[in-house]
Amino acid sequence: MNYEIIEQIQHLFTGADERNWEKVAATLDEKVLLDYSSMNGAPATWLTPDEIITIWAGFLPGFDSTRHQLSGFSMGENEYTASVHFSGKADHFINVERWTVEGTYDVELIYSQRSWRITALKFNLSGQSGNTALPALAVERMNKA
């Protein structure tokens, strides 16, 4: 298993949790097929790193903190491309309240500019728990900021 690939995927999520948008951008290719349709119903869309960061930076800081946990990595790779499947759990906190989202991810990467870069990110929702009103509260907090 190529740990550089896993590390790059982990950097995407730790960067989001840290609100370190440069770290997030460093994991992404020039265009990424982002697919969260199982969670929000929006179709998969090709976006630039800046567009993805704008979306995430307009939502995630509305929470006091977030914590992504990734596990169960399996991958197929050749010299310049890789496909990775893994489980993910994301806890989102406001005060003592928590909203948790769980599912699996399918990620495609390409070896470019001497590093692995994400070209596609698909989330497959399996469930959510906790206070499901927190996402709306996070958006409200961002709108007031």
Tokens for 72, please give them.
């169960």
Q: Domain 3-144 belongs to what architecture?
A: Roll (3.10)
Average pLDDT over residues 41-69: 97
Tokens for 107, please give them.
């990620």
Residue with tokens 């550089």: 4
Whole-number pLDDT of residue 37: 98
Helix, strand or coil, per DSSP, at residue 20: coil
Average pLDDT over residues 42-57: 97
Domain ranges for the chain:
3-144
| Residue 1 clears pLDDT 70, i.e. is over it | no
- Each residue of 100-118: pLDDT tens digit? 999 999 999 999 878 999 9
| Residue 28 · residue 107 · CB < 8 Å | no
